[in-house]
Structures are given as C-alpha cells and as structure tokens.
Chains A and B, each alone.
Chain A
Amino acid sequence: MVNKKAFGRLKGREAMVFGIIVAMVILFSILSPTFRTYPTLVSVLDNSYYITLMVLGVTFPLITGGVDLSIGTGLVSYALIGGYLIVQKGMPVGVGILACVGMGILIGILNGVLVAVMDLPPFLATLCTCMITRGLGPALCGGFGVSWPSSLSEAGKFRNIFKFISGGGTVVPIGIVLMLVLVLIMSFVLEHTRVGRYTIAIGSNKEATKLAGVNVKFYHILAYVISGLFAGLAGVAYAATYATIYPGSGAGFELDAIGGAIVGGVSASGGVGTIVGAFLGVIVICLMKVGLPFIGLQANWQQIFTGIVLIAAVLIDVVKKKK
C-alpha cells in the first residue's frame, strides 16, 4: 500500500483483531469438541454474509463521522419486497434481486440528502429511516412472511453463489471467496479512489474539505448511498441464507455490523478506519454469535459479551488518543 505511514497505526489494530479471532477459535475448539467440526464452520460463515455486506457499506458513513442505523430493518424490508415480487407477483428472481438492491440505494439517497443537504444529525436521520423501513416492507407486502425460492428449485439457483452443494452432499461455502473479493474491492475504493479519500476527508475536517473546493455534499450523500447499496445486497444474502423472512424483524442487525466495524478500528468520531479492519471486527462478532452457545452460554450472553468487547475496543482508542 502506498500510504504505509498514513495508515500505519491501523495495521497494528488489524493484526490485533486477527489475533483475537485466532484466540477465540482456539478457545472455543478446546472447550467444545462439537465446535471444531465442518458444519460449524459453515454455520459461522452462513451467519456472517449479510453482516459482512452491511459492514462493507456502513463503514463509509461511519468514517464521515456519521452512522447508518437503517441498514438492519432495511435489509429485511428490501428482502421482503424482493421476495414478494417473485413469489406473489411471479416475477423472475433477477427482478426481485434488483428491487432489493434498488430499494437499498433509494433509502441510501434519502439518508444522504437528510444528512448532507438538510443537515440532520446522522443518528436522528437514520433512526427515522430505520423506523420507516421497518414498516415499509410489511406494508407493501401485506404483512406476511416471504420465502424466496428454495435452492432445490430452478429459480433458487442464486443461493448457490454462497453455498455450493456437491454431488456427495458436501457443502462448500464459496460465499467467503465472494466476500473476500468484495472486501478487496471496497478496500481499494476507500484507500485509492476519490470517493474514499473524500469520505475520510469529510470525517477528518468537513469545513477544510469544503474550502479545498471538494463537492462535499455529493460525496457525503454518496457515503450513505454506498451504505444503502450494501444493505440491499445484504438483503439478497439474507434471503439466500435463511428460509423465511419475517416482517418486522431486522432491528438490531445494524448493531452487529456497526459494532464489528468499531471493534475493527473504525472510529466513531470519523476519519479513521479500514475495510479490512471492519471485516475482521465483524468476524469477531459472528464468532461470538455462533461460538458462545457451543460452550454452554445462551444467546443472551452473546449480547452481553458483544457489549463488553465493544467497550474494550472503544477504550483502546480513547487511551491511545490520550497518549
């Protein structure tokens, strides 16, 4: 990478988070024999796709110093609408996918305009769109749950992009390869293109960026559009991974992604963060989600531990800043 020095501090953070992942895997494997089996690995990955997609997008608003709370309820809502078009209206799967992603982009534009043009605080603006998207899906689809076509049917083939089932019945989680490719692409966007550079610049000093003649409003909106686009993609991944999408669910999904990004070193006050770090942070969150039940801790404990890990992650940043 060209800016070794500029981003030097973060490399240490990523190594640390990677170390935590390794430590967690070893710990869970020792404590639970069933954890170190192939189906568990597949389950961890299955559970990580939609969160990973969310984090690839939400990292952008986070780095501008904002946040996007609408992605969790949003992704469920978009998946509902897409599924409704396919199942109830008999449209091709492709249209459902496009609708899902398109809705995400639309809400992203709305968020961006509210924040960058109307000057609403990001927390407030996206909290409102979070509520809107929560009701939007069920409202448009009659309030019923929707199941996208199963992978056994011809129309459900799109699910194979995440999970390839071989002739012998072995599941190959090829989704992870797709995720890694997306991580690399978004990493490039953040660190080597104008979009990314101005995203960091806005989070660092919005006024100075404006004075430099940058079209701050456009790039600020764009950050939210990227977040919305990936919420749409996360909707597709969610529909591909889970059998049924229930209306009104999805609240709190965004916290897994935002929490993961912060564990991975993205600063909640803006200007700092990498895609690789955010991705690794999400893996930590997913490991806790799936791994803690294996060592006998209920799902509730996962929430408590996630909270504690987040406090630790933020504290590290605070202490570092004081030095």
Chain B
Amino acid sequence: MGDIILTMKDIDKSFPGVHALDHVDLEIRKGEVLALMGENGAGKSTLMKVLTGIYKKDSGVITYEGKEVEFKNTREAQDAGIIIVHQELNMLGHLSVAQNLFIGREFKKGIRIDDKKMNEEAKKLFDRLNVDIDPAETMSNLTVGKQQMCEIAKAVSFDAKVIIFDEPSAALTESEIEEMFKIIRDLKKRDIAMVYISHRMDEIKVITDRVTVMRDGTYVGTLITKESTKEDIINMMVGRVIYEDPKTQSAVAKDAPVVLKVDHLKAGKMVQDVSFELRKGEILGFSGLMGAGRTETARALFGADPKESGDIYVNGKKVVINSPQDAVNCGIGYLSEDRKRYGIVVQKTVAENTTMASLKDFMKGIFIDKKKEKEVADKYVKALATKTPDVDQLVVNLSGGNQQKVVIAKWLTRDCDILIFDEPTRGIDVGAKNEIYKLMNRLVAEGKSIIMISSEMTEILRMSDRVVVMCEGKKTGELDISEAKQENIMNLATREIE
C-alpha cells in the first residue's frame, strides 16, 4: 500500500437542524481503492462535497500531499487533482465525445477550435485506458456505460491524483461494470488514489482494498476488505443503536382480507417482477437502499409510469390501471415523496387542496360549492389536527408536516382506502413526525390500508406490520415485523444479485 496522499481530520459540518458530519476522519493512500460505505444519509456524499469544495466545512483539517488545503469550488479541487465522477453524468448530449472531454479547455488554432487535434488527443487517452469509443461520436448516442467511461477518462485527463466515484455502477450493466473495474485496476497501477462509494457489497469485495464505514454523520471505523466479511461491514453500518419503540408484532389478523394484490409487476429496470399483498388495516413497509426501485414500483402501481406486465387486484377483483385517474377510481391514493411537485398546489388554499381530487362531488351545477368545500376541509383540519388559522390559508404558509396532512385529507376526501405513503416524513421535524405516525396508526385502525415506502430504518421498524425489502428493482424478501431486524433487512437490501 502506498503513502498517504490525503487525510481529513475532525471534519464537522452542520446544516440547519442537522448535524451532517460529526468529527469525521478519513485517510486515502496512493494506489488504493477505498470503499466509503454507510446507510442512506450517513454523510458519505456530504463528506466528499466538503472535500471538493462544494460545501464549506465548519471545522477540521484537510491535508493533501502534505499541505493543508481548503478548496473553494470544484474547479480548484480539479486543478489540484481531486475529481468527482458523479452519479448523474455531467455531459453535454449534443456535443461530441472529444468536445465533452475538453470543454472549457479546447485546443485552438488561432480563433478556430482544433477539433481534429481534440479527436486525436481523446483517441490517445482512450487507447491508454483501453476503451473503445469514437471521439467524434455524439455523446447522447453512447450507452450510459460508455458515457461513464468518458467521465472517468475526463478525470484522468485532468492529471487526477484522487478520483472519487459516487455510486458509479448504479446505471451500468454487469459487463460495463467489469470494463470499469479494468480501468480502475489500471489506474491503481499508476498510483492514483480512489474513493468508491457504493451499496453493492459484491463490488466492494472485488475492487476495494479498504472499507471506511460511516453512520449518522460519524466515522465508525475502517477495515481491510480482504480480512472482513459482509456481516462485519453490515454490523458496522447499522451499529448497535437502539431505535425507539419498534413494533414487536403485527397488529393485523392473519386472516384479514387482502385489499390489494400485485402480481408479477414489471416496469423497466427498476421494477422487475414484483409481487406482494396488502391486507386490510395493515401498514406494509417497503425498505431498501436508494435506487432499489420502491418509488418506481409505487408509481407503476399507481399508473403514473407505464408498466410492461403484471396484474393488480383490488378487493379480489382484477383492475386495469393505466393512469393515476384509474388508480384513484380504484380507491388508491398516492402521497409522493416530492410533495411540492406532485402532492399539493402550494399557491392554493387548504380547502382547495382538500377537494382537488374529488371536485366532482363539490359541484352545484357548474359552480363549485364553496360552502360544502369549506365544511369538508374544516372537518379534516379538525380530524387530522392540521395547524392552520383557517381553511382559506394558502398551503405554502404551512409547515411540512401540516402540508403532508393536507395531502392526506385530499385522499381521504376522495374515499381512498389504500394509501401509498412515499417517504411520509421526509423533511418533517421530529414532533410533526410523531403526529404523522399517530395519524397513520389511526387510519389503519379505521380500516384503511397503507403502503409505506421509507428509507429510514427507524420508521420501518416502528410502523410496519410487515416489511417488503427491495434491491435493484427486485423484491429480495418479505419479513413479518416480529422477525424483522435491521441486520436482516440490511442483508436483504444489499443482497448480491446474480
């Protein structure tokens, strides 16, 4: 193993309300691949953003090549040789490969851009990396895998000494990943240090030398990859934190009627043959890591995205759902993870949002029955304890938790018996969270059924009666809450897929 090229010591970073990084340490050596692992929200990306100058650290010291550094932006980090290969690719689809590689530092002949020389230089670079890409090809014509190679080639062309891969394999096929590993091995030989952020345990085992684990914004520890097992790493990731009052057993009777049955649902790469049942009065938790395909499953089920195949049964009857309208007519309501985009109309009042999905029932001839609208909205404001001065208040003035309640009121007004909560408490403070939990429990007690997608382990263990675990578009397991533990959920969520 080579010399240390970069250390981060005692790095601290807070955002309003969140202590994102709590005195974190990190050390990278020349010619090694260091895996950076942790659950969603553990602080991996934040740490890398602090390193490359996207975020400013509150305290701590970064030492690079023996000198203390603090980069003001990605450009400065780039010039020093520290480069991030982002998960979402920063490419210009309309330009050629070579034009992308050299954007901002074109070769010129007088005032003319020397595209010929750029193509030649790109070709040389690709030859060195053993990649077969035509530099004159338009970027958007390349597969995602090839585009990823271009990003890596670009990093190398900057004379990178440290390359950070942020979930580089998320969109790649097996053979593309293999190709990328070849390049990574080659870069190792040239003493380039690499940080590899990924959730895929099998890749970590194959390509990395050491694993640094983070949890809840803190540094947990570092292992030598060869000497540790998958279980060691997972134990470090979940830790021994005691979560508050997890449910110990299901509150739903074994013979409760099945209200929703999804059979072999397929919709692209993110939803591959997903089947499950939802019982009356049940909260069915959907757990998994970022990009496991949970939201995509919900959207396909709800008719928001097209599905390739699969059957859906509501109350035992087969139904056809091709649009959200169909789903709503079947009594399914969807509370999006992105409230502002899909859930509410912020510049409208509480009352208007409440009746949005069921306006037909509030018509008096061609006019909207404002009085009735107000009554119903009032009813739900009281029932859900929504904090608003009155129902004529614009939703934009409400807090996140209360906005969420307005969305719930909207679907209750529509008489939806099946509610899909996608990250119901994201961006909501702790007090309001508890209220949403209480509300969900009351809804199922009243005979509604809930599908709850959540990336928070605490939430899954506290709310669910049963847990479905997904990984890379596939359902990898289903656990009754009595047997669900963070370790076995994590195991299923990172299950290697053949």
> Which A residues are closer than 8 A to B by beta carbons?
2-6, 8-9, 188, 192-194, 197, 200-201, 203-205, 207-209, 211-214, 271-272
Contact = CB atoms under 8 A, between A and B. Distances in A.
A201 B92 contact: yes
Contacts of B370: none
A6 B112 contact: no
A59 B233 CA distance: 56
Interface in B131-172: 134, 136-138
A193 B112 contact: yes
Given A2-B116, A6-B99, A197-B99, A203 B90 contact: no
Contacts of B106: 194, 197
B134 A271 contact: no
Contacts of A5: 96, 134, 136-138
B90 A192 contact: no
Contacts of B90: 205, 207-208, 211-212
Contact of B91 (A188, A205, A214): A205
7 contacts: A5-B137, A192-B115, A201-B95, A201-B103, A204-B95, A213-B75, A213-B104
Interface string B236-252: 00000000000000000
Interface in B93-120: 93-96, 99, 103-106, 108, 111-113, 115-116, 119
Contact of A212 (B104, B116, B134, B136): B104
B58 to A, nearest CB: 24
A6 B95 CA distance: 6
A90 B93 CA distance: 53
A201 to B, nearest CB: 5
Contacts of A6: 94-96, 99, 136-138
Contacts of A204: 92-95
Contacts of A209: 92, 103-104
Nearest to B105: A213
A201 B104 CA distance: 10
A197 B116 CA distance: 15
Given A205-B90, A208-B90, A214-B104, 4 more contacts: A193-B111, A200-B92, A204-B93, A209-B92
Contacts of A272: 94
B74 interface: yes
B112 A192 contact: yes
A212 B75 CA distance: 8
Interface of B: 74-75, 78, 90-96, 99, 103-106, 108, 111-113, 115-116, 119, 134, 136-138
Given A6-B99, A197-B99, A197-B106, A205 B115 contact: no
A3 B96 contact: yes
Contact of B136 (A3, A203, A207): A3
Given A212-B103, A214-B103, A194 B113 contact: yes
B85 to A, nearest CB: 12
A63 to B, nearest CB: 9
Q: Please indicate which of the listed interface residues A188, A192, A204, A271 has the most CB atoms of chain B within 10 Å of its own CB.
A: A204
Contacts of B113: 192-194, 197
A272 B139 CA distance: 13
Nearest to A270: B94
Nearest to B136: A5
Contacts of A192: 112-113, 115
A208 B78 CA distance: 14
Nearest to A215: B104
B137 A205 contact: no
B111 A3 contact: no
A188 B110 CA distance: 13
A211 B95 CA distance: 16
Contacts of B112: 188, 192-193
Contact of A4 (B91, B92, B136): B136
B103 A2 contact: no
Contacts of A203: 94
B92 A2 contact: no
A205 B100 CA distance: 11
Contacts of B105: 213
Nearest to A214: B104
B115 A208 contact: no
B342 to A, nearest CB: 23
A268 B136 CA distance: 25
A5 B119 CA distance: 12
Contacts of B116: 2
A272 B113 CA distance: 18
A201 B106 CA distance: 13
A203 B106 CA distance: 18
